Structure 1
Amino acid sequence: MLRDSYGNEISVESQASLDHYDRGTKLFLGADFGATDAFSSSVELDGGFALGYAALARSLMMSGQMPQAKAAISRAQDLCAKLDTRQRQHIECIALLLAGKPNEARALVKSHVRDYPRDALVAQLCANVFGLIGFSGEVGREAELLAYTSALLPHYGEDWWMMSMHALSLCETGQIEASSKLMEKSLALNSRNANAAHFKSHAQYEAGEVAAGRSYLNDWLSDYDDRGVLHGHLSWHSALWALHDNDEAAMWSAIDAGVGPKSAKGLPINILTDTAAILYRAELAGVTVAANRWSELSEYATRFFPETGQSFADMHAALAHAMAGNGDRLAHISDTAKGFAGDLVRPVSRAWQAIARQDWSTALEELVQVMGSTERLGGSRAQRDLLELTYANVLLKLGQTEEARRCLTTRRPVLSHSPPIAALHL
């Protein structure tokens, strides 16, 4: 029996088909463009390659092609009867995810990798802040993610992908120096690993390295295919660097070229959350945001997230609706919010509504209910700074300047030296 690039025995008829599969795996783990084509080529050569179809399903999912992804995983399931335990469970993990059963998928993935730690396409389902642990809605998810990658790391040796995953876990638990060293090692092995470039940007953000972070990311993005799954989100990081560097023109350029609904080619959840976050953080910093930007984003959120259930998206959709004055959609979210952190989405939604009408006291009452457990909403520390800065700004509007400074200093010291909040500099 042949083995894949991670040493796992795999039921495939030809080396040529396996070569395409291995190439797709590398592209997928590096968040580079082309994985779908590689997996498609693999199953074209071997129509009975079950794991090839499972990988294709996962890649199609990450490019937002859900009907095609479900068809591919169904084909994989049809072919799995004669496979060994690892391969059957591999397919089941991805099938559970595509079936909208994240809790069951997470439990099976964690069990699976204890027996098959080098099954990378399964391991990655839980391996970053956008994975099944990251979107669990549980307190302590950052520590859980660190424990997860810590247990896997020894099994991977000098592997650029796992190094980058563990480096992010270190970063999100405040171990910036260790994270940076491991990330550099990962990038030295594969400089075109978009995940590593992304996570390096997080480490530089946490270290407050604005000039270095901006320079590195803009250079890295120059030859990254805009169809790559992380292009839009990395453009958000670029826009954020520009905002923190007081370069408004560059910020709008990054937004209009790669972040917003009119230009970005990524997943709707990234387009919505990144655009809402950068627009409001720009407003907090004193930048004028045209009303039509909010109305266009509110329409986008209504189209792609008409019902609640994905808490991270719902929180940002509520912001877009509030800023656009779309009261009906905002009320729908605050009334019906469900999902892994629906109990937090509701007060956040009411806070956005209060902020839109400049009712700062009500906004504070609502945000207080959330600030102790923002990690449950999902996203990275950098993304959740939207709430940290919003909370500080509400305190400032209520005349509580010292409390606002204290909160930033104790909760997010990296933002306290030069807070991107216009009201703090008046």
Structure 2
Amino acid sequence: MARLDRRGLPLSTTSDLAAEHYREGVDLLLSAWPGADAALDAAIAADPDFALAPAARARLHAIRGEMDAARARIAAATGIVARHGTERERSHVATLALAIQGRSPEALRAALAHAEAWPRDVLILGLPLGAFGLFAFSGMADHDQARVDLCERHAGHFPDDDWWFLTYRGWSHAENGAVAQGRALAERGFALRRENANGVHAVSHALYEAGAGEEAERLIAGWLPGYGRSGPLHGHIAWHAALGALERGDTERALAIYGEHVQPSVSAGMPINLVTDSASFLWRLQAYGHAVPQGLWQAAASYAAAAFPKAGSAFVDPHMAILQAAGADHDGVERRAAALEALVEAGTMAAGPVVPALCRGALAFANGNHAGCARILEPLAGEVVRIGGSGAQREMFEDMLLLALMRSGEAAKARALLDRRLHRRPSPRDAAWRARLAA
């Protein structure tokens, strides 16, 4: 009898135990839940000739930023699948290998082609999706729409109770502006599997885009205690709650959440989240008129310097520049921007010139050169989306431009920016800034 994965696709393993552990491990991986590593290791032990288990293990390593281990695992899977794999499994492993090797354009093309043939192979369908997926980091200006298009193209292949597909379909719609539709889909997916960090994350994003920050805080406060600190999204989900508290003016609560769950010294999250969440929270705290407690900037900067020693990540580098600028490392920001410009010139920075511009804009803002910051950021405001991430994460750079305009006397431009934001996402912070401009 054929052994199947959770969505009915055949597995080439000869072991019922390996198939069982694989299904469990993939469920845990897809829900960002602790235990995926142990389940997948058990699948590998039960059948060393089953290539999808080490391939999934490689994907888990890559998500955690453990790239040496990811490359070793995918190399093992590649050798196994050549001897003991089906056509689907060979394509599955080859696509994951491209992504892990950093060959992102090829990986995106391979993932889309694989999805045409096997749309329910969700480890591959998921590669282009999400805030850090292949679409988001492709440099495309319309990656929000591309995710929606991909989900809708394959929606007919999924039943109405597939919690994973509902989660990512909902997140994609909410990010693309269909907030009510996205929220409804994400909430359905989360209701089907509450032990799902990606589910609560998707709902939190939808609530943020709806301007329902306090509702998101309540959701996270009730859910987070049941999610172990070893969960890869523990700190990032707490970051969402900290943003909500900060936005409604409860600085004490926001700092308490940051100190307990988000800062690098207490979180076991993914390095990309640890750096960007810390930088963006501290920047917002200071930009909104509050003092950053002593040592927090330095601690975040020290972790970031070790985690990302070289320029080359369109999403991370502007956050690195914020940390460097906060520490008065002006030369460091300039070196980073120059390195990024060289990558743009070489054609290896897909997001293009917006990345070094954001670094220089962050430095100008930190130096109090608000007119200079506005001159840098305003022409590229529509290009920030190219760095990837989510709307909630990128909004910081819009805040930077808005505050630069306000502080340099460009009230009319600031009001126009606030008007555009009002149609997208209402917030108490924007209301306060509007009142300040009207005074």
Determine the structure 2 residue equivalent to 1:4: 5
From 83, 86, 89, give the equivalent of 2:91: 89
From 360, 363, 381, give the equivalent of 1:371: 381
**Deviation at residue 414 of structure 1 after TM alignment:** 5.2
The secondary structure found in structure 2 opposite 1:79 is helix
After TM superposition, the structure 1 stretch with the greater mean CA deviation from structure 2, 167-176 or 331-340, is: 331-340
- Per-residue Cα deviation, 1:93-126 (whole angstroms, up to 9, x for no partner): 1111111111110100000000000111111111
Please report the TM-score for the alignment, with normalisation by the length of structure 2.
0.93
**Deviation at residue 413 of structure 1 after TM alignment:** 3.8
Determine the structure 2 residue equivalent to 1:359: 369
What one-letter code is carried by the residue in structure 1 that aligns with 2:148?
Answer: L
**Is the Cα–Cα contact under 8 Å of residues 210 and 426 in structure 2 kept in the other structure?**
no
**Is the Cα–Cα contact under 8 Å of residues 248 and 429 in structure 2 kept in the other structure?**
no
Q: Is residue 2:234 matched to residue 1:224?
A: no
**Is the Cα–Cα contact under 8 Å of residues 177 and 424 in structure 2 kept in the other structure?**
no
Determine the structure 1 residue equivalent to 2:56: 55
CA distance in 2, matches of 1:250, 1:389: 21
CA distance in 2, matches of 1:293, 1:405: 33
From 343, 348, 354, give the equivalent of 2:353: 343
Q: 1:417 to 1:81 in 2, by over 3 A?
A: closer
Return structure 1 stretches of 4+ with deviation > 3 angstroms. 411-417, 420-426
The secondary structure found in structure 1 opposite 2:114 is helix
Please report the TM-score for the alignment, with normalisation by the length of structure 1.
0.96
Give runs of aligned pairs for residues 4-403 of structure 1, distance below 5 A: 4-82=5-83, 83-157=85-159, 158-290=161-293, 292-337=295-340, 338=343, 339-403=349-413
CA distance in 2, matches of 1:324, 1:14: 56
Q: 1:86 to 1:275 in 2, by over 3 A?
A: same
CA distance in 1, matches of 2:103, 2:357: 26
CA distance in 2, matches of 1:105, 1:64: 17
Q: 1:388 to 1:20 in 2, by over 3 A?
A: same
Q: 1:370 to 1:18 in 2, by over 3 A?
A: same
What one-letter code is carried by the residue in structure 2 that aligns with 1:42?
Answer: A
What one-letter code is carried by the residue in structure 2 that aligns with 1:310?
Answer: S
After TM superposition, the structure 1 stretch with the greater mean CA deviation from structure 2, 300-309 or 135-144, is: 300-309
CA distance in 1, matches of 2:304, 2:431: 26
**Deviation at residue 300 of structure 1 after TM alignment:** 2.1
**Deviation at residue 421 of structure 1 after TM alignment:** 9.1
What one-letter code is carried by the residue in structure 2 that aligns with 1:50?
Answer: A
What one-letter code is carried by the residue in structure 1 that aligns with 2:395?
Answer: D
Aligned length: 426
Unaligned runs of 5+ in 2: 344-348
After TM superposition, the structure 1 stretch with the greater mean CA deviation from structure 2, 317-326 or 299-308, is: 299-308
**Is the Cα–Cα contact under 8 Å of residues 130 and 172 in structure 2 kept in the other structure?**
yes
CA distance in 1, matches of 2:335, 2:151: 38
The secondary structure found in structure 1 opposite 2:82 is coil
